[in-house]
Amino acid sequence: MKIHSRIILAVFLTVIVHVFLYTVFNVSIGLFTFPTMFIIAVIDFIWYGFSKTELGLDVLEHYHWALLALIFSKFLPLGCALRTLGIYLLISEMLQTHPFAIESTHFWQSTVIGIVLTLLLALSYIYL
């Protein structure tokens, strides 16, 4: 897919995420968050064009990065942007043909990483 097609899809997905957050969670997205989502979408669609295997990152999924972003949003000053990144990547993961590495050769490794990150996320919000 060409870069301009990816950017068009990024705009479309940004609008979909905005509508989803507003209608389901009644979350109004501010002026800062909407451009952040667009930038994240562009990066996501460009990243999706690369081969994770070539980069040695085939075990890592979108939701791992989402969980890391949500963990770091607790501690870093750009919490709003990181939470937006986390939500966007979770939705992006759910929209894939094989979400959460289901039916992939690295399912168990990915699941273990996901469980550890989920526990860290829960602990960071419960105890810190």
Residue partners of 126: CB distance under 8 A and separation at least 6: none
Neighbour-count burial of 128, counting CB atoms closer than 10 A to its CB (0-12 exposed, 13-18 middle, 19+ buried): exposed
Give the pLDDT confidence score for residue 4 in this predicted structure.
65
Phi-psi bin for 98: left (phi > 0), alpha (psi -120 to 50), beta?
Answer: beta
The count of structural domains within the chain is: 1
pLDDT of residue 107: 92
Q: Which residues of the chain have pLDDT under 50?
A: none
**Structural domain of residue 28, as residue ranges?**
3-127
pLDDT at 48: 65
